[in-house]
Structure 1
């Protein structure tokens, strides 16, 4: 098990930065989807991300060489696969249902930590995850639970892989820099993107117009809008993913996983600012439950000794 000290409040701050940045950039995926395809988007974003990393490597002293290549590769494949399944499911499932499936990840985090690593699960942790997931369902609406087909299981599989990748960040990749893990994640998505473009070039599919053809669309000549917003995605994702990787490096995955629920109210806020989308009272109530889950999961156990409690406070203040 990892012996890295937990810094819960610092991890929360990193997650907040991640949520604000990623929620902003993800609101413009609908613009990207009008002119390009999912696979070209992943490949182009990866190329741009690595160009940015190349520029920043020397002035920021970044270290992009992994200490244990195999473990970084395994983590990158798991996280990359989770995102490919997630975006793929969007082609034939409602967005609400896909998002609800992905946000089962905190439940899988607790289960994996319990049965694979022998960590105990407190009643408070279970309650926090259930409260947070209940808040997610309220934010997304009742339609999030509709449809009990095999296809509906795909987002849940994505959530399980996402959870495993998050645990791998802390348990498998100890000592790796955040930039190494970020670079590995983008590289794997770039590989998936190139493979997807090659397959659709050799075996093209009928492509609906506009955003509806995002998944089936092969490589096309990029428009200025596609390139600009993909660049914004690359830059924002580097910062955002770097923050979430750092959060999983410095705090327990079970805590950070629940903090990630904050991306839903962040996305809703940017949706209102950018597109004028207004939340229902049910969504507002759900966000309150999400915030409550974060507070519950961040609290130190009442069973801690005075020494452990003082250590937790010192870690939270640093």
Structure 2
């Protein structure tokens, strides 16, 4: 155990959110010429050698202690990522991220209604506020509402289950093991999608509209470049997030993950000129407030772990 270093933890998680906000804004560029399934298969092929090299360099075993627990967690997290990345080609990135950030709300609902654990009125009120924020960002009542918004919210549900599995099923597993298993699951999804599209080929529209229906195509330079950026950026972001949770208490670090909503919006504006409307900005603020309340409440209810000097 080491001393808690909240400033370093906050800087690490903020850097990770800035990086993720940047690289995820370019998924739509990948979607112009490539397919969702090919993207995940190629990205995993780029990531796994780097993961193995890191594991060998630091003497870390990638073998899971509990295979079924790790496989189950990977199934839920990878499903969430498939839905999230799929929605990125069709929605403004702010809406996709807002859908993913429904995960804390689903965690509370699963905890209270299915696991029968006490949630309390404060966190339930925060969940209601966060849900209202998501509605303001997605605006399902609008004339141009997209069915892809439902997939973005579904990604939040599967991510919530995966997050709970991480804490309940996979305690003691190495971070690199969980990371590698998740990317392997993404490769399985990619292979399944490509296999089905090879057997049942679809007439994929040109550009980003064909992202989900596009099978294997000869990868061009743009596709390979931005997929490589995604691969390296994802690994660096995972390392920064892991470091943050090692240096700070989990509820404290979780507060700063909500900066991703600001990060993706800022990058979308700088890179593509996208700017969320007034209602979406209010919704983002409500989601952040709800997340902060939930994290602070969890921090208050969780007894601090004993610490010894480094």
Provide the TM-score with structure 1 as the length reference: 0.79
Secondary structure at 1:299's aligned position in 2?
helix
Of the three residues 250, 262, 274, the one matched with 2:259 is 262
Structure 1 residue 286: deviation in Å? 3.2
How far off is 1:196 after superposition?
1.1
Answer yes or no: is 1:226 the counterpart of 2:223. Answer: yes
Alignment of 1:1-318 (within 5 A): 15-88=13-86, 100-138=98-136, 140=137, 142-143=139-140, 154-244=151-241, 260-299=257-296, 311=304
1:171–1:246: structure 2 CA closer, same or farther, 3 Å change rule? farther
CA deviations on 1:220-269 (whole Å, 9 max, x unpaired) are 1111111111011011112334555677898668x877754432211001
Q: Is the 8 A contact 2:94 2:261 kept in 1?
A: no
Distance 1:112 1:247 in 2: 26
Query: 1:296–1:32: structure 2 CA closer, same or farther, 3 Å change rule?
Result: same
Deviation at 1:294, TM superposition (A): 3.7
Alpha-carbon distance in structure 1 between the residues aligned to 2:91 and 2:269: 24
Matches of 1:8 and 1:168, distance apart in 2: 27
In structure 2, C-alpha distance between the alignment counterparts of 1:271 and 1:281, rounded to whole Å: 16
Q: How many residues align?
A: 306
Contact preservation (8 Å) 1:259, 1:294: no
**What RMSD over aligned residues (CA atoms) do the two structures have, in Å?**
3.8
Query: Counterparts of 2:90 and 2:280 in 1: how far apart (Å)?
Result: 24
Cα deviation for residue 175 of structure 1 reads 0.1
- Name the stretch that deviates more: 169-178 or 91-100: 91-100
Q: CA deviation at 1:96?
A: 7.0
Offset at residue 161 of structure 1 (A): 1.7
Q: Say which SS state the counterpart of residue 181 (structure 1) adopts.
A: helix
Q: Is the 8 A contact 1:178 1:246 kept in 2?
A: no
Q: Does structure 1 retain, via aligned residues, the 8 Å contact 2:28–2:89?
A: no
SS in 2 for 1:277: coil
SS in 1 for 2:49: helix
Please list every run of 5 or more consecutive structure 2 residues that lacks an aligned counterpart in the other structure.
none
| Partners of 1:181 and 1:245 within 8 A in 2 | no
Check the 8 A contact 1:14/1:244 in 2, yes or no.
yes
